[in-house]
Structure 1
């Protein structure tokens, strides 16, 4: 497979992206690399619980957060075309923005994006408007597409999830949310009167789908780990035995990185009287969908089981530089969505019309470079580093939790909003998390822990003030407050 990459690159005459001109000031940083608070008045310090000194949380105000730092678009002067000053100015702005990205990347820990990639060989393709209109398996009249790459990527994932070429349909989505929207839509089309079941720790896009499609939705309780509570799931199923079930199964929840037990979900459905022709399961594998196949103890996601669709993000563990994803479903289901589009000379069953034709090429390129063995090594590295971080935090007296099959390390929420923004931590209530991706090194984790320990000494007055209790969020065994530590 690696040889095929070299052949394609040679045939396309691809070259590395040209470096920025030497006279650009790349040391300067665009104003305020840390996003400012929506209301600067909220920067004032207040006294929190137990006398802890902390800054107020950032307020989300529609239309105001980014306007405080946006780059204005100005009309060009008449002589700009001659002088070229405008081009030089824009290039300088972009150079400073690049420097800001480098700075922000150094402190990126809270969101599940793999920032370790090298796609220099694909730079020349950015000169083309590559658009994968319509059905990936039917070529349209628009000739500047990348369907040959897209179908190659889909075949790879179909093999991973054990579905034959003639039995699946799928496409490269523009993001993980689109994959979820499509998976739930297929379920709704198969069972128009079905009820959607999703755990409370499910990604917000599933509940967005319920609102968009006007579906009845049952929120199922979760365990402390974040996994779906199948006892509560069974109770809710028993209340609606007269209607088909559409279930979202999480292969890694958003906040705690919990993996729902697919086999237990199926068993619960069967025990409640739902035959395989009365339920549809969508597996949201946005982050861990590509990691789980390489974890021995993980529940296997396979179309040999009675599932309807699987989605995974391409910009997370895979490491694609633009948001994208993969959505796979059974071919037998897709006819309910498919419609002929004369304008395209194709059929369409996707959520979006135009689709990014560059994304499949980036995915194809990295799949060829890494392969199954490469991903397996990266999974092992992520899990190893996640356990390392958990150990460092616990040794420092910080309440922390790590699910067995996850690289998402969950811990007590830092009190300082500026610290949260600096490290780009994702927070919910009293907890925050770090998602250990292939680009997250031990050195980066050490720097984060060192700074966190320093800050906590100030927040808790060197131990004289009690640290918060997170037993309800992380479990008593993972809380290190005075009561449970």
Structure 2
């Protein structure tokens, strides 16, 4: 029997806690009628949201439902016993695990497959599936900081622009790194010449550089090769935050932008363009929950792990994992494995083409009919168009992201539309029509 409020308040703190949390008390608790109604109302609201998802234009989330084969894959995993009890991907997927209840084979294989997409050498690759794009960035920055500090004995400074994703500022603070602000070009991409000036102004510190491949608001691209040229002869680590663009660019004629290494046309030597890359799974791919890819070289990982093992050597799991997170989600890697097949890559190529074609269409129509909104597409790789903020009705209806940006020396309220696979031409046409009404 549940006690009333007067009886509860008459007890001491400890007695009250025991009374409320006792097995008898917990089993006696049921949802009130009001609570049940709230649950029903919430579910009904979620159903309504599902009907509105295609008009989400302000954020880089693919709202397309995965194909039926994905859900069949989920059922196949369940039929094999996966996710029927606690699975845990603790540890390094490339090492033997003493704890067998994991999906390391799937995780390792999907990293190898995506690593090949990004041009990593098959015998020099390491990575894992993270909880999110931010988690992937955190591992990249932590690895870079550790390697550079070990090489020089000096804490590196981190270089990125104000156009980078806000998670980089959070991680900079978390890792206690001094930030050097690098200027941007007019399109929003990093100014490599200013990077060189900043590097010269900080000669006694190694450089941890974050290049953004698709900046958050403008969709600009930091020039990887120009950055790498400025880092030549310096102790540096270059991490790519390719959260959105990293998903679709490899399936286009522009795939070379993200290749990990290239052959120098003069010396014929193989040149490494960056050290690690982070890509979000829930953005372009449309994976139903936040997750991320983190990929680096096996060489970098071993250099990092040598130092990591001095901080964290969990003898009882019989390996040094080299991941910040200890227990790791085993469900996401097993499910995301579906997105690494040849047929999945073919679907991604079709989605990538449609996205970029539709972005070009949106820009053209906005220039033809709404040039006063000053629409801009930073480059032909971008699926983002930004423009002067339209009416609040349009902003709210399409969940447009808004912020103040500098246009010709004047801070101007702007919005952007991110053309994801769910934003078909008919959605864009409706958006264009609604712009006319305001």
Q: TM-score range by the shorter chain?
A: 0.7 to 0.9
Question: How many Å separate the matches in 2 of 1:203 and 1:88?
Answer: 40
Question: How many Å separate the matches in 1 of 2:39 and 2:26?
Answer: 15
2:384 is aligned with 1:408: yes
Greater displacement, 234-243 / 248-257: 234-243
Given that 2:276 and 2:297 are in contact with CA atoms closer than 8 Å, whether structure 1 keeps it comes out as yes
Given that 2:192 and 2:223 are in contact with CA atoms closer than 8 Å, whether structure 1 keeps it comes out as no
Given that 2:55 and 2:423 are in contact with CA atoms closer than 8 Å, whether structure 1 keeps it comes out as no
How far has the Cα of 1:91 moved from its partner?
6.8
Question: How many Å separate the matches in 1 of 2:27 and 2:317?
Answer: 41
2:26 is aligned with 1:92: no
Given that 1:262 and 1:299 are in contact with CA atoms closer than 8 Å, whether structure 2 keeps it comes out as no
Greater displacement, 137-146 / 159-168: 137-146
Which residue of the partner structure matches residue 108 of structure 1? 56
Which residue of the partner structure matches residue 21 of structure 1? none
How far has the Cα of 1:315 moved from its partner?
0.6
Q: For residues 369 and 110 of structure 1, do their structure 2 counterparts lie closer, same or farther at Cα, with a shift above 3 Å needed?
A: farther
2:419 is aligned with 1:436: yes
How far has the Cα of 1:376 moved from its partner?
2.0
Q: For residues 90 and 354 of structure 1, do their structure 2 counterparts lie closer, same or farther at Cα, with a shift above 3 Å needed?
A: farther
Taking structure 1 as the reference length, what is the TM-score of the superposition?
0.71
Q: For residues 212 and 87 of structure 1, do their structure 2 counterparts lie closer, same or farther at Cα, with a shift above 3 Å needed?
A: closer
2:292 is aligned with 1:315: no
* Structure with the larger helix share: 2
Given that 1:298 and 1:405 are in contact with CA atoms closer than 8 Å, whether structure 2 keeps it comes out as no
How far has the Cα of 1:434 moved from its partner?
1.2
Match of 2:396 among 407, 421, 429: 421
How far has the Cα of 1:269 moved from its partner?
2.4
Given that 2:376 and 2:385 are in contact with CA atoms closer than 8 Å, whether structure 1 keeps it comes out as yes
RMSD: 2.6
Match of 2:71 among 100, 108, 120: 120
Question: How many Å separate the matches in 1 of 2:30 and 2:146?
Answer: 55
What is the aligned length?
373
1:377 alignment partner, SS class: helix
Give unmatched runs, 5+ long, in structure 2. Answer: 1-24, 150-154, 262-271, 405-412
How far has the Cα of 1:213 moved from its partner?
1.1
Taking structure 2 as the reference length, what is the TM-score of the superposition?
0.78
Which residue of the partner structure matches residue 352 of structure 1? 325
Give unmatched runs, 5+ long, in structure 1. Answer: 1-74, 456-485
Q: For residues 242 and 448 of structure 1, do their structure 2 counterparts lie closer, same or farther at Cα, with a shift above 3 Å needed?
A: same
Question: How many Å separate the matches in 1 of 2:355 and 2:96?
Answer: 39
Given that 1:287 and 1:312 are in contact with CA atoms closer than 8 Å, whether structure 2 keeps it comes out as yes
Which residue of the partner structure matches residue 160 of structure 1? 117
Match of 1:389 among 362, 366, 372: 362
1:174-213 correspondence runs (5 A):
174-192=131-149, 193-213=155-175
